[in-house]
Amino acid sequence: MRPSGRQPDELRQVRLTRHFTKHAEGSVLVEFGDTRVLCTASVEERVPPWLRGNRRGWLTAEYGMLPRATGSRNDREAARGRQQGRTIEIQRLIGRALRAVVDLEALGERQVVLDCDVLQADGGTRTAAITGSYVALADAVGRLLRDGSLRRNPLHGQVAAISVGIYRGEPVLDLDYAEDAEAETDMNVVMNDASHFIEVQGTAEGHAFRRAELDGMLDLAQKGISGLLEAQRVALEE
Amino acid sequence: MRPSGRQPDELRQVRLTRHFTKHAEGSVLVEFGDTRVLCTASVEERVPPWLRGNRRGWLTAEYGMLPRATGSRNDREAARGRQQGRTIEIQRLIGRALRAVVDLEALGERQVVLDCDVLQADGGTRTAAITGSYVALADAVGRLLRDGSLRRNPLHGQVAAISVGIYRGEPVLDLDYAEDAEAETDMNVVMNDASHFIEVQGTAEGHAFRRAELDGMLDLAQKGISGLLEAQRVALEE
Amino acid sequence: MRPSGRQPDELRQVRLTRHFTKHAEGSVLVEFGDTRVLCTASVEERVPPWLRGNRRGWLTAEYGMLPRATGSRNDREAARGRQQGRTIEIQRLIGRALRAVVDLEALGERQVVLDCDVLQADGGTRTAAITGSYVALADAVGRLLRDGSLRRNPLHGQVAAISVGIYRGEPVLDLDYAEDAEAETDMNVVMNDASHFIEVQGTAEGHAFRRAELDGMLDLAQKGISGLLEAQRVALEE
Amino acid sequence: MRPSGRQPDELRQVRLTRHFTKHAEGSVLVEFGDTRVLCTASVEERVPPWLRGNRRGWLTAEYGMLPRATGSRNDREAARGRQQGRTIEIQRLIGRALRAVVDLEALGERQVVLDCDVLQADGGTRTAAITGSYVALADAVGRLLRDGSLRRNPLHGQVAAISVGIYRGEPVLDLDYAEDAEAETDMNVVMNDASHFIEVQGTAEGHAFRRAELDGMLDLAQKGISGLLEAQRVALEE
Amino acid sequence: MRPSGRQPDELRQVRLTRHFTKHAEGSVLVEFGDTRVLCTASVEERVPPWLRGNRRGWLTAEYGMLPRATGSRNDREAARGRQQGRTIEIQRLIGRALRAVVDLEALGERQVVLDCDVLQADGGTRTAAITGSYVALADAVGRLLRDGSLRRNPLHGQVAAISVGIYRGEPVLDLDYAEDAEAETDMNVVMNDASHFIEVQGTAEGHAFRRAELDGMLDLAQKGISGLLEAQRVALEE
Amino acid sequence: MRPSGRQPDELRQVRLTRHFTKHAEGSVLVEFGDTRVLCTASVEERVPPWLRGNRRGWLTAEYGMLPRATGSRNDREAARGRQQGRTIEIQRLIGRALRAVVDLEALGERQVVLDCDVLQADGGTRTAAITGSYVALADAVGRLLRDGSLRRNPLHGQVAAISVGIYRGEPVLDLDYAEDAEAETDMNVVMNDASHFIEVQGTAEGHAFRRAELDGMLDLAQKGISGLLEAQRVALEE
């Protein structure tokens, strides 16, 4: 039934390539099928002005899409002089998701910036970005622990995200672009490795959804996210 | 247990004052306790460029907060030269919520702009804005029907929104600022009068939330929204 | 002769509602007939960078119009990303007018920001804003005196403003929108309670005006402003 | 008494150099003493979008100050990315003043842009700009009449402007920077050759001014402007 | 002598990977050693407004650097709201370079946009971008020829670019970051396959350079560019 | 052969008028024929934030063109809210060129800003700006030496610039607008008084240029620049 031939509860192939670029403290290319996002974690030994002197760190995220990551070219946001509403929403979501697993006091007075840049888009870029950013963040934190900048690990959990939706009347997991463009409902779910929710964002695109449909989507999401958490662990052990 | 002395499932006092200003086709002051938002619906006999010639209408929303609607003054967005991420997120949410009950083809090639301006903030401004905007929209549509610009009603349902959260470990309905500032989880729920979901946005502020907590919050939201839908009906019948 | 049936020297009904919103140190809804402007005075315990360390305070004003305060909707300035020339002129005028009655040294190293937001426009919004801002400022200063932050009153006078114009060949006081749109000359006059001028801004819209016409308008303005000063005193004594 | 040794009613030396640059349809360097402003009039065979198809023309003005026209360097507005409030006020004033002597229907569907750029500032740049712009406009219109683009002269009068103020308690004409920095009141007056007022803008800088002081300043302004109108006529006859 | 151990006239390893992403008409990852730039060519069936109706096409380029393409993180230009001067210079250079080998009339009324995004920077990003863009452009043009949109090939030559410089007193080819940071002179040279110059941009960073040094650098550039042209041909034949 | 009747190696008349305006530490009107650029040097007793505390000075340049400096009016960059790419390129070039002859340590912790504003354009504005800025800078430095702010001269050479090009197949010196609009190749050359190169920027506008053409243009540039250096010396000795 799905354009890709996948089962309703089947993820696309997930790949997490660490050390994709050489400068960043963490650099991961995450692929959910044809969706490819480069996530880098940059450590900066300073915090934003409003946090100075509080002995706490900060973590923030920025998101961008290369102009031709998509089927037709989008304007370059830097040239237009401002980020779109969609971009702002996504980068705020990524930041909140990752902060949910970081002890900012343990991080010390420094900042981690996660840059998520979409090289190729095929649906689910924000969930791929969250999932990949966790690995980039873990690499950056690992480096700080190894070089003695941090004494204890500020990460108190794993975080991953997946989309679910109602496609042709049925709940499906990890929508690709062909499904997303047609879905009646689209939901992004962020969870940690205790199987608790960090963020749930569901939107009716076509008709409003019933409580039972919501429950079905949440079940799928829980299942999909355990697969992603496992993929993160495997990647980090390599 | 709640700072306001309310029961966990108790809404604040809701007031919907129609015809609050005289120029707009719909103009409603909505109050959820001390939160006061002026919602106006403006009808324009044109559509955005990307929609021209499609025989469909459009509905969009803009949100603003007066600089001193809050306890300490915020910068005026017009003076800073850009809207904050929070503002953009909220106005996109309001627009999606209201479009979910409008048949854009039946609206004809015209646009309705909903302006939601917060005069006084005490938590829940976005849910008040959605709830009040529906009444302003109904007034504007009523006028188009009465003057013969529209032959059939493009509204195919009612829409209202409420916040729910986990406050001191317990699910509560319609958080005011004192609760919101301290809540562990905050969720905004938008529903229609068929008791179906249009949007669900839940965010863990403190600790991640369990499926049972999510279910408890959704139950409260459903209950609160029926009260709001009833208040809208009463206001529109006056 | 006037569309409203008023005498040439007759003000519209003036209402000054104090404590209109709850957060600001001063909050006044001023109404000149159907023109309604919310004026809030916010006290901030800091001054702009160029004034730091000078033991003087500062007072500034910002002005905005809700998009649908007028007969047809105006773009939201925050969304367009900049304030219009008209807005900038008006807020500079309000700031100068109010600073003319404040002893900035007596204010101490703090800042008062006056936000004037037009909820409904029917001509004369800038003069209403100045007249209402004085009352909001007086309330804010009163609070500082009561709580001991200020030892002596930095206000050394009252200030109010009114528009005058030549309408169908005759000088008239306090133009509403119907008159303003048609007036040949439009003048805004700001005066203090010593009956001296703080600002005079007259513009020929249609034909240039003669010295005798200018004199006639100034006479009307003086008369109108004494009425406004009296209304301010009454409001502040309540 | 005046720093320059001038009489209270004495203008600085006024020079109007036509054809100062070669490309513009009108190009005048105006000097009021050490204040030097280059005024160019550019004719464009199109009107702004909101005026298209109305068989009327338009006239607008833009004002700028070279960064080092003044004693200490100001930021370049093009580099900062926006014009200051002062700049916007001045260019709006220049535009209104010049439009007051132009019959926009007789101008036909074309636009004149007046660019006033201050090469050196010593007080009174806006009044010099208005006075010089009139001559540049007359040259541009003269060219359109000579080449047959216009059949009748759209100029129905002359316009000039001067500043007056209260300096050390006495009304003085045409303030230079040394006086302006110290003046208690500053007023800019724009008049036509029928000795009628086009614009009056008076601001109390120090103490508020009395009606008698206002009258004294207006008398001086009237006298000064006749001198400027004469200088314009002489320049245009050369 | 060189940090990389290369000979003075030795290029870094050059790799040109076609079809690096799937949506764009041309998509090439170009690598000059550790410098990696993704170049996409997007064909749009419209031209900029100023070119409409002229039966000619247009080609333009945009350049960006991912925030962490470099050793320390740079601000994201989209978030800052404007492109840096360096970015603007580079994208103008890329556009001119590529237009020099395109017959814009033969292209027809369509536009090619070249997006050059630096994934990893190690010196020479602009010369890599030009060299890779040519291959992306050739792929996009090839597709237009194959699908019959174009009857004759608008490309009338190849174009490639390389940097040369004076490093520790000696001319060297293709500077990497370690050399570039220390070079006394830096020159970018763009040439076509007839061995003629399209652009020469040389800048003295340390001391000014003599004519003989300039000649030496130009000799190296000519040699290096033949290697790049050969690499382009090999890539396109695969 | 040249529109102006000049010999291929003949400069236009060069005029350097010092003290053109009175406020700046250096103020020079430079004319290359009909091209007229006002160059001012402003000394500021502070450096940009990134240089503070380094005991070094800085020199930067800004460039602007009055809207009607050209045959048809250009938008005012301050009103459009951003500088064009061409402007940014030119001001960066001027800054680099002048910094090449300044010992920034000898300058001390202060900044010189060179403002180059084109009053009238007829080709070669950037080369005139560099040539005139050197004289303005020399005047500003001379003043600092005379008043004791500087002990030793931070200028260690002269700098001047000229354009060369291929016009109708032949290399020519100092192109005016008529030639520039038609030239096949356009090159700007910046040199010091040791006859060494500071910057070479050559662009093929029509066909790519051969090495021999490049050599011919460089020969002309060297000749032209010695004339300019001599004109600078003469001006500074007056």
Using one digit for the tens of pLDDT, what is the confidence trace for F110-160? 999 999 999 999 999 999 999 999 999 999 999 999 999 999 999 999 999
Using one digit for the tens of pLDDT, what is the confidence trace for F209-226? 999 999 999 999 999 999
Q: Give residue B1's pLDDT.
A: 86
Whether chain A has a CB inside 8 Å of the CB on B210: the answer is yes
Closest Cβ–Cβ partner in E83, E113, E120 for A23: E120
- Judge whether residue F57 has pLDDT over 90: yes
Using one digit for the tens of pLDDT, what is the confidence trace for F70-108? 999 999 999 999 999 999 999 999 999 999 999 999 999
Choose, out of B37, B38, B73, the residue to mutate when testing the contact with C (most C CBs < 10 Å): B73
Using one digit for the tens of pLDDT, what is the confidence trace for D39-89? 999 999 999 999 998 999 999 999 999 999 999 999 999 999 999 999 999
- Judge whether residue F206 has pLDDT over 90: no
DSSP letter at D146 equals: H
Band (pLDDT 50/70/90 cuts) for residue A191 is: very high
Q: How far does A74 lie from chain B, in Å, by closest CA?
A: 15
Which residues from chain D sit within 8 angstroms of residue F86, using beta carbons? none
A124 assigned to a ligand binding site = yes
C-alpha torsion sign, points C98, C99, C105, C111: positive
Paired with B188 in beta bridges are B163, B201
CA triplet B33, B37, B40: central angle to 5 degrees? 145
Rounded Cα–Cα distance for residues E229 and E97 (Å): 14
Using one digit for the tens of pLDDT, what is the confidence trace for D101-153? 999 999 999 999 999 999 999 999 999 999 999 999 999 999 999 999 999 99
Whether chain C has a CB inside 8 Å of the CB on D81: the answer is no
The residue count for chain B: 238
Q: Give residue A135's pLDDT.
A: 98
pTM of the model as a whole: 0.93
Q: Which helix (H) or strand (E) holds B65?
A: strand B58-65
Whether chain C has a CB inside 8 Å of the CB on B117: the answer is yes
Q: How far does F75 lie from chain E, in Å, by closest CA?
A: 15
- Residue C185's closest CA among C171, C200, C197? C171
Q: Give residue F1's pLDDT.
A: 86
Using one digit for the tens of pLDDT, what is the confidence trace for E43-86? 999 999 999 988 999 999 999 999 999 999 999 999 999 999 99
- Subunits with 3+ C-beta pairs closer than 8 A to A: B, E
Using one digit for the tens of pLDDT, what is the confidence trace for A43-67? 999 999 999 989 999 999 999 999 9
- Give me the residues of C, 10-29, that contact D with CB < 8 A: none
- How confident is the model over B190-199, as a mean pLDDT? 97
- The CATH code that applies to domain E14-237 is 3.30.230.70
Beta-strand pair C159-167/C111-120: unpaired
- Judge whether residue B207 has pLDDT over 90: no
Q: Give residue A206's pLDDT.
A: 79
Rg value, chain A, Cα: 18
User: Could you tell me the two tokens for F41?
Assistant: 């040097």
What is the separation of C-alpha B232 from the centre of its chain, rounded to a whole number of angstroms? Answer: 12
Whether chain C has a CB inside 8 Å of the CB on B70: the answer is yes
Paired with F115 in beta bridges are F40, F62
- Judge whether residue D237 has pLDDT over 90: yes
Using one digit for the tens of pLDDT, what is the confidence trace for E89-145? 999 999 999 999 999 999 999 999 999 999 999 999 999 999 999 999 999 999 999
Tell me what percent of the residues of chain B surpass a pLDDT of 70. 100
Residue of E nearest to F199 (CA): E203
Using one digit for the tens of pLDDT, what is the confidence trace for C112-147? 999 999 999 999 999 999 999 999 999 999 999 999
Phi first, then psi: what are they for A143, rounded to 5°? Answer: -65, -40
D16 contacts: CB under 8 Å, gap ≥ 6 = D28, D29, D30, D31, D131, D132, D135, D231, D232, D235
Closest Cβ–Cβ partner in D85, D202, D222 for C200: D202
- How confident is the model over E19-40, as a mean pLDDT? 98
Residue D83 burial (10 A CB sphere; 0-12, 13-18, 19+): buried
**Annotated binding-site residue numbers of B:** 86, 124-126
Closest Cβ–Cβ partner in A23, A67, A77 for E71: A23
- Judge whether residue A221 has pLDDT over 90: yes
Per DSSP, the residues of A59-104 read: EEEEEEE-TTSSSSPPPPHHHHTS--HHHHHHHHHHHHHHHTTB-H
Closest Cβ–Cβ partner in D71, D79, D119 for F38: D119
- Across the interface, whether the CB atoms of D67 and F22 are under 8 A apart is answered no
E82 assigned to a ligand binding site = no
DSSP letter at E194 equals: T
Per-block average pLDDT, block size 10, for chain C (238 residues)?
95 98 98 98 95 94 98 96 94 97 96 98 98 98 97 97 96 96 94 97 91 96 98 96
- Across the interface, whether the CB atoms of B69 and C115 are under 8 A apart is answered no
A-E contacts at Cβ under 8 angstroms: 97
Q: Give residue E205's pLDDT.
A: 81
- How confident is the model over A142-161, as a mean pLDDT? 97
Whether chain E has a CB inside 8 Å of the CB on F81: the answer is no
Q: Give residue D1's pLDDT.
A: 86
Q: How far does B213 lie from chain C, in Å, by closest CA?
A: 34
Residue of B nearest to C118 (CA): B66
Rounded Cα–Cα distance for residues E233 and E135 (Å): 9
Residue of A nearest to E29 (CA): A119
Q: Which helix (H) or strand (E) holds E27?
A: strand E26-32
- Judge whether residue D206 has pLDDT over 90: no
Q: 3-class DSSP state for residue E232?
A: helix
Q: How far does E71 lie from chain F, in Å, by closest CA?
A: 18
- Amino acid identity, position B57: G
User: Could you tell me the two tokens for E231?
Assistant: 């690499």
Q: How far does B58 lie from chain C, in Å, by closest CA?
A: 16
- How confident is the model over B132-155, as a mean pLDDT? 97
Average confidence score pLDDT of chain E: 96
F146 contacts: CB under 8 Å, gap ≥ 6 = none
- How confident is the model over A97-102, as a mean pLDDT? 97
Whether chain D has a CB inside 8 Å of the CB on C207: the answer is yes
Whether chain C has a CB inside 8 Å of the CB on B36: the answer is yes
Whether chain F has a CB inside 8 Å of the CB on D176: the answer is no
Average confidence score pLDDT of chain A: 96
Whether chain C has a CB inside 8 Å of the CB on B215: the answer is no
Rounded Cα–Cα distance for residues C196 and C186 (Å): 20
- How confident is the model over B153-164, as a mean pLDDT? 98
Q: Give residue D94's pLDDT.
A: 98
Q: How far does F158 lie from chain E, in Å, by closest CA?
A: 12
The residue count for chain D: 238
- ipTM reported for the complex, 2 dp: 0.96
Closest Cβ–Cβ partner in D23, D73, D117 for F70: D23
Using one digit for the tens of pLDDT, what is the confidence trace for C182-215? 999 999 999 999 999 999 999 998 789 999 999 9
Q: How far does E22 lie from chain F, in Å, by closest CA?
A: 31
Residue of D nearest to C158 (CA): D208
H helix count then E strand count, chain E: 6, 9
Average confidence score pLDDT of chain D: 96
- Across the interface, whether the CB atoms of B78 and C68 are under 8 A apart is answered no
Q: How far does A103 lie from chain B, in Å, by closest CA?
A: 11
Rounded Cα–Cα distance for residues E47 and B175 (Å): 53
- Across the interface, whether the CB atoms of D209 and C203 are under 8 A apart is answered no
- Across the interface, whether the CB atoms of D197 and C218 are under 8 A apart is answered no
Residue of B nearest to C41 (CA): B68
Residue of B nearest to C68 (CA): B24
- Amino acid identity, position B81: G
Distances (CA, A) of C58 to B236, C26, C87, C103, D181: 47, 16, 20, 9, 19
Rounded Cα–Cα distance for residues E225 and D39 (Å): 51
Residue of F nearest to D81 (CA): F81
- Residue D33's closest CA among D199, D180, D236? D180
Choose, out of A34, A35, A66, the residue to mutate when testing the contact with E (most E CBs < 10 Å): A66
Q: 3-class DSSP state for residue F88?
A: helix
Whether chain C has a CB inside 8 Å of the CB on B193: the answer is no
- Amino acid identity, position F67: P
- Residue E10's closest CA among E232, E228, E230? E228
User: Could you tell me the two tokens for B61?
Assistant: 């929303």
Q: Give residue A220's pLDDT.
A: 98
Closest Cβ–Cβ partner in F38, F44, F81 for D73: F44
E128 contacts: CB under 8 Å, gap ≥ 6 = E30, E31, E32, E35, E37
- Judge whether residue B79 has pLDDT over 90: yes
Average confidence score pLDDT of chain B: 96
Q: Give residue F205's pLDDT.
A: 81
CB E84 within 8 A of CB A36: no
Phi/psi region, residue B220 (left: phi>0; alpha: psi -120 to 50; beta: rest), is alpha
- Please count the other Cβ atoms lying within 10 Å of the Cβ belonging to residue B230: 14
Beta-strand pair B35-44/B111-120: antiparallel
- Across the interface, whether the CB atoms of B68 and C34 are under 8 A apart is answered no
Band (pLDDT 50/70/90 cuts) for residue E206 is: confident
